[in-house]
């Protein structure tokens, strides 16, 4: 079950993935998503910083570097609040599975790394639904950095933590910022009972572990009406990764 | 010098402590009570008397202003989201306008502060403790003038101004489409919330049932002790 802040149980399930950049959490969530869909569950996916109403303000704030640690924190809270009210809670009430790529722990880690008071941030986010399971993909800093920085990609200002003036070199600044974030995550494992996944293990083994941990939570859930090609996918054990470009075939009248 | 005091735990990195030579003066009150008129009069009077003055108001920050206007036009924001939007906007003005002005020694006149946001949220059933924590980063003003007038005094002022506003009539929370009746119900609820908040945040009550000139004279009189030493000695 997922739980509203006032203690109300919602019939749906909320599974979230967390971890530093490069930990591979989005890949794992993507695999999980496809598996759950192929099993016939009704799945809603939500991503950090994606509310259509709030995103334009956030984007402008980032582009023009208008955000301070305080406004950075608040605008991301507004983003999650909007998705919570319009997407996550209705889906959970309907008995669906909600998969969240990053959740409140990302805010606690980043805002903490930016020097905001932890207690204040936690109370700001007290509107958020308590997840059924929160996975933390644990990975040593150097390995995550190696994955991200191979090919020297251009780092965005806030992504690299350049607003904190940790170093004039974006790569060094990114490293120091990620180090702070990692420290915050590690402290939250116990605080929030995060389910730790060793993200250095092979991808398939991690996915098996995640599925095994989820399975006990998958009873009494809303299933979607299987479409003809979904049934084919389930029977053949395929993801259907190229089907999204094909329109869903209409049922015979 | 005024020592910075926050309502909650200090949460603004870089602004944790210190002293600010300016003064923060807030005018609060419901729709049509005459806040903006008094702010304009005070601004002119203070400048004419040699004070350095700046003015700010709600929902006009460079960061959130456009997004907030857009979102309100669609009437699509939920309570938590809207309050976090307001909080972002307020934080932006606090950090970019108010604190720099206070640091530079200005008298900062503010048309509405966190109390209006808190009052409108409390009417809509938002958890008071959550709101109190959320706005814990706000600095405590040197003076909060709360302009208060009865509904019967407010109605003609609203009508001769912009008329009954959708949000100020609580049309998003009340049933029916009678904007006049809803305005009365909503403003009564709002006044009740302001009464509660006023005790908590120590408002200075100003009777706004009087003429503009009488209110102005009263505000000036009460401001003087706070502005001591703010004017450059010629």
| pLDDT score, position B41 | 95
Beta carbons of A71 and B62 less than 8 Å apart: no
Low-confidence ranges of chain B (pLDDT < 50): none
Q: Which residue of A has its CA nearest to B65?
A: A57
Nearest CA in chain B to A65: B63
- The first and second tokens of residue A213, run together, are 């941990």
Q: Residue A128 and residue A116: Cα distance in Å, rounded?
A: 19
Option in B9, B81, B133 nearest A124 (CB):
B133
Which residue, among B85, B89, B93, B134, would best test binding to A if mutated, counting the most A CBs under 10 Å from its CB? B85
Which CA distances in Å does A92 have to A7, A86, A99, A156, A182?
14, 11, 11, 34, 30
Q: How many angstroms separate the CA atoms of B146 and B14, rounded?
A: 31
Of B12, B77, B85, the CB nearest to A70: B12
Residue-level pLDDT at A233: 75
Q: What is the mean pLDDT of residues A144-172?
A: 89
A182 CB within 8 Å of a chain B CB: no
What tokens does A34 get?
């496809």
B191 CA: distance to closest CA in chain A (Å): 26
B11 at A interface, C-beta within 8 A: yes
Interface test mutation site (partner A, options B13, B68, B75, B125, max chain A beta carbons within 10 A): B13
Partner residue facing A68 (CB), from B71, B95, B133: B95
- Considering only alpha carbons, which residue of chain A is nearest residue B80? A81
Contact flag B11-A117 (C-beta cutoff 8 Å): yes
Chain-chain contact of B134 with A123 (C-beta, under 8 angstroms): yes
Q: Which of B79, B92, B130 sits opposite A123 (nearest CB)?
A: B130
Interface ipTM: 0.81
Question: What is the pLDDT, as a whole number, of residue A244?
Answer: 62
B188 touches chain A (CB under 8 A): no
Question: What DSSP designation does A126 have?
Answer: G
Q: Give the pLDDT confidence of A73-88 residue by residue, as tens digits.
A: 999 999 999 999 999 9
Q: Which of B119, B145, B142 has its CA nearest to residue B27? A: B145
Q: Do the beta carbons of residue A17 and residue A10 sit within 8 Å? A: no
- What's the predicted TM-score (pTM) here? 0.85
Per-domain residue ranges of chain A: 11-226
Closest-approach residue (CA) in chain B for A72: B88
Cβ partners under 8 Å of residue A213, min gap 6: A133, A135, A195
CA dist A132 → A37, A49, A93, A122, B14 (Å): 18, 21, 14, 18, 37
Rg, chain B, Cα only: 18
A170 touches chain B (CB under 8 A): no
Closest Cβ opposite residue A53 in set B8, B71, B136: B71
pLDDT value at A210 more than 50: yes
Mean pLDDT within A128-133: 96
Tell me the chain B residues in contact with residue A117 when contact means C-beta distances shorter than 8 Å.
9-11
**Residues A53, B88: C-beta atoms closer than 8 Å:** no
E strand or H helix at B28, and its extent? strand B23-29
Gap between the Cα atoms of B149 and B191, Å rounded = 9
- List pLDDT tens digits, range B34-56: 998 999 999 999 999 999 999 98
CB contact A74 to B (< 8 Å): yes
Closest to B11 (Cβ–Cβ): which among A66, A67, A120?
A120
The residues near A168 (Cβ < 8 Å, ≥ 6 apart) are: none
Which residues share a beta bridge with A135?
A17, A195
Percent of chain A having pLDDT more than 90? 70
Give per-residue pLDDT as tens, B151-162. 888 888 888 877
CA separation for the pair A199, A181 (Å, rounded): 16
Beta strands B23-29; B143-148: pairing state: parallel
Look at residue B234 and give its three-state secondary structure: coil
| pLDDT averaged over every residue in chain A | 90
Mean pLDDT for A153-181 is: 92
CATH 3.40.50.300 fits A11-226, yes or no: yes
Q: How confident is the model at residue A15 (pLDDT cuts 50, 70, 90)?
A: very high
Q: Among A11-20, A188-197, A241-250, B200-209, whose mean pLDDT is lowest?
A: A241-250
A107 touches chain B (CB under 8 A): no
A65 and chain B: CB distance < 8 Å anywhere?
no
What average pLDDT score do residues A6-28 get?
Answer: 94
* Residue among B64, B80, B137 minimizing CB distance to A85: B80
Q: Using a CB-CB distance cutoff of 8 angstroms, which residues of chain B are in contact with residue A126?
A: 130
- B202: burial class by Cβ within 10 Å (0-12, 13-18, 19+)? exposed
**Residue B157: which of B220, B111, B209 has the closest Cα?**
B209
Yes or no: say if B9 and B136 are a contact pair by the CB < 8 Å rule: yes
Q: Going from the N-terminus, what domains does chain B have, and what CATH number goes with each? A: 20-227 (3.40.50.300)
Query: Given CB atoms, is B16 within the 8 Å cutoff of chain A?
Result: no
Which residues does residue B25 pair with via DSSP β-bridges, in sequence order? B109, B143
> Would you give the DSSP letter of residue A41?
B
How far apart are alpha carbons A50 and A103 in whole angstroms? 12
- Helix intervals (H) in chain B: 35-48, 65-74, 79-93, 99-103, 114-123, 128-134, 151-160, 179-201, 212-223
On whether any CB of chain A is under 8 Å from the CB of B69, the answer is: no
Which among A90, A94, A126, A91 is positioned nearest to A108, based on CA atoms? A126
Residue A82: which of B12, B81, B88 has the nearest Cβ?
Answer: B81
Question: Can you tell me the mean pLDDT for A22-31?
Answer: 94
Give the mean model confidence (pLDDT) for residues A182-203: 97
Location of structure tokens 């009746």: B181
Interface test with B, best of A81, A107, A128, A163 (most B CBs within 10 A): A81
Bridge pairing between strands B2-3 and B23-29: unpaired
Query: Which of residues A226 and B24 earns the better pLDDT score?
Result: B24
User: How many residues are listed for chain A in this entry?
Assistant: 253
Interface-testing mutation among B72, B78, B84, with chain A (most A C-beta atoms within 10 A): B84
CB contact under 8 A, A78 and B85: yes
């Amino acid at each position: 079950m997922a739980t509203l802040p006032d203690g109300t149980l919602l019939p749906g399930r909320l599974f979230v993935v967390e971890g530093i950049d490069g930990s591979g959490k989005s890949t794992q969530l993507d695999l999980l998503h496809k598996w759950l869909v192929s099993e016939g569950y009704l799945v809603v996916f939500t991503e950090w910083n994606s509310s259509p109403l709030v995103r334009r303000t956030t984007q402008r704030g980032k582009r023009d570097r208008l955000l301070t640690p305080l406004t950075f924190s608040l605008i991301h809270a507004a983003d999650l609040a909007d998705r919570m009210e319009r997407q996550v809670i209705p889906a959970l009430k309907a008995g669906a599975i909600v998969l969240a790529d990053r959740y409140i722990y990302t805010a606690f880690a980043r805002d903490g790394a930016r020097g905001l008071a932890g207690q204040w941030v936690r109370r700001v986010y007290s509107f958020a639904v308590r997840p059924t399971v929160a996975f933390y993909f644990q990975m040593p800093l150097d390995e995550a950095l190696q994955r991200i920085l191979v090919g020297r990609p251009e780092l965005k200002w806030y992504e690299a933590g350049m607003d904190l003036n940790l170093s004039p070199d974006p790569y060094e600044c990114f490293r120091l910022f990620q180090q702070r974030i990692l420290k915050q995550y590690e402290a939250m494992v116990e605080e929030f009972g995060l389910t730790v996944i060793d993200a250095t293990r092979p991808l398939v083994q991690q996915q098996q572990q995640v599925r095994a941990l989820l399975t006990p939570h998958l009873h009494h859930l809303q299933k979607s009406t299987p479409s003809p090609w979904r049934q084919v996918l389930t029977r053949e054990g395929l993801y259907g990764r190229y089907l999204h470009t094909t329109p869903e075939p209409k049922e015979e009248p | 010098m005024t020592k910075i005091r926050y309502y909650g735990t200090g949460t603004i990195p870089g602004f944790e402590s210190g002293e600010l030579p300016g003064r923060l003066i807030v005018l609060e009150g419901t729709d049509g009570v005459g806040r903006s008129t008094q702010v304009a009069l005070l601004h002119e009077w203070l400048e004419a008397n040699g004070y350095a003055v700046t003015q700010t108001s709600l929902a006009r920050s460079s960061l959130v202003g456009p997004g907030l206007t857009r979102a309100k036009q669609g009437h699509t924001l939920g309570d938590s989201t809207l309050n976090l939007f307001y909080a972002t906007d307020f934080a932006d003005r606090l950090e970019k306008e108010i604190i720099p002005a206070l640091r530079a020694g200005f008298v900062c006149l503010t048309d509405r502060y966190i109390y209006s946001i808190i009052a409108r949220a409390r009417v809509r059933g938002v958890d008071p403790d959550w709101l109190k924590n959320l706005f814990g980063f706000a600095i405590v003003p040197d003076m909060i003038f709360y302009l208060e007038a009865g509904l019967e005094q407010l109605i003609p002022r609203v009508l001769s101004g912009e008329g009954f506003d959708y949000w100020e009539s609580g049309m998003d929370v009340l049933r029916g489409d009678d904007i006049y009746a809803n305005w009365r119900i909503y403003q009564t609820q709002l006044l009740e919330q302001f009464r509660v908040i006023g005790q908590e945040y120590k408002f200075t009550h100003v009777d706004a049932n009087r003429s503009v000139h009488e209110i102005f004279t009263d505000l000036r009189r009460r401001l003087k002790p706070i502005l001591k030493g703010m004017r450059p000695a010629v």
